[in-house]
Amino acid sequence: MTDTTPPPAPEPTPTPTPAPEPTAYVAPASPAAPYATPGAPAKAPVLSIIALITGILGLIGAISGGWGLLFSIAGVVLGHLGQKRETAAKGFWLTGLITGYVGIAINVVVLAIVIIGLIALGTLGSSYGY
């Protein structure tokens, strides 16, 4: 007798699954990770700090006798340079600008009083009669 049963169906061959895409290495999170910034270190706001210092020196010089005009002018110039180049240091350059302008105003008033005083002393001590 012959066997008339059909042969069993071959098992389907599994199709190979595609390999997963390689991922970039991600470093484990550290406690300092939110605060650390990669890349180049931030530049110090040198112009703004110097504007602050010269503005304060100009204001002190103006109050103490009117000799801080150059410092006040330097504070204003450096404050405007810091405003354009170092926008993140707003507190420094803004304080330099304010103290510089106030110092210039006080210096101009003090120097005007001194000049008027010298002119008055010159005319009072004059022996010329008009």
Task: Give the 3-state secondary structure of residue 55.
Answer: helix
Closest CA to 75 of 87, 57, 91, 62: 57
pLDDT per residue of the chain (130 residues) written in tens, 0 to 9: 666 777 777 777 777 777 777 777 666 666 655 565 567 777 889 999 999 999 999 999 998 887 899 999 999 999 999 999 998 999 999 999 999 999 999 999 998 998 999 898 887 666 665 5
pLDDT of residue 81: 96
pLDDT score for 116? 92
What pLDDT shows up at residue 37?
A: 58
The pLDDT of residue 22 is: 74
pTM of the entire predicted model? 0.63
Smallest CA-to-CA distance from 70 within 80, 59, 79, 81 is with 59
- How far apart CA 111 and CA 117 sit, in angstroms, is 10
